[in-house]
Amino acid sequence: MRELSLNVMDVVQNSVSANASLITITVKESDKDDFLDIYIEDNGKGMSEEQVQNVIDPFFTTRTTRKVGLGVPLFKMAAQQTGGSFDIKSQLGVGTTLSAHFIKSSVDMTPLGDINSTVKILIQCNPTLDFVFSHSTDLGEFVLDTRELRQILGEDVPLDTLDVLEWIDGFLKEQSNIIYGGAKI
Ligand SMILES: Nc1ncnc2c1ncn2[C@@H]1O[C@H](COP(=O)(O)OP(=O)(O)O)[C@@H](O)[C@H]1O
Ligand SMILES: [Mg+2]
């Protein structure tokens, strides 16, 4: 994929399908230490050890009862082609965590892309779910937690209203501008 943010969009759909109510998206990057890590954690239905293996290596499975998905393998490939790594930890009934480690300076690094738009669209399309998005660089970190937004807004204001989405948009732009060392928005 052209942007890692599209991989994120894709694999978060799995968390939504797995009936997660809380999805945490963490991006940690450092030019100094030459890495970009993406963690996606959910409290959905989880997977058995065998399911995890089938998802990671779909072409090694002998199973023919379901179509082979590519969302997870493509994300894994994007990480491994940089010389990085990929891991899934999952527990049935508890949830799943995907960890992708990228070597930023690799010629095969896929750019992160517009992660802010991905987060905003995910919130807009799943207004009843909670998302925690955090992004850090060598310059700093910020967090957007929809549970905090709900507390401030009150239960009557859905997250997919125009005013709220505009606020989210502005907050993400302003904060990412700060951690990327930009002078103005
Ligand atoms: N976070 C998750 N929680 C539960 N099951 C998951 C999760 N991520 C992936 N899976 C399982 O792995 C399968 C393959 O995922 P994926 O590679 O994205 O392909 P697809 O979504 O097209 O099936 C999903 O259909 C689902 O059964
Ligand atoms: Mg999928």
Q: How far apart are alpha carbons 16 and 158 in whole angstroms?
A: 18
131-179 pLDDT, tens digit each = 999 999 999 999 999 999 999 998 888 999 999 999 999 999 999 999 9
Calpha distance 12→87 (Å, rounded): 15
Taking the CA of residue 98 as reference, the ligand 1 atom at the shortest distance is 1
Q: What is the pTM of this model?
A: 0.94
CATH topology of domain 4-179: Heat Shock Protein 90 (3.30.565)
Locate 69 and state its tokens.
């998905």
Name the closest-CA residue to atom 7, ligand 1. Answer: 14
**From the CA of 73, how far away is ligand 2's center (Å)?**
10
Give 39's contacts (C-beta < 8 A, 6+ positions apart): 24, 25, 26, 28, 97, 98, 99, 100
Domain boundaries, given as residue ranges, for the chain: 4-179
Atom 1, ligand 1: residue with shortest CA distance: 15
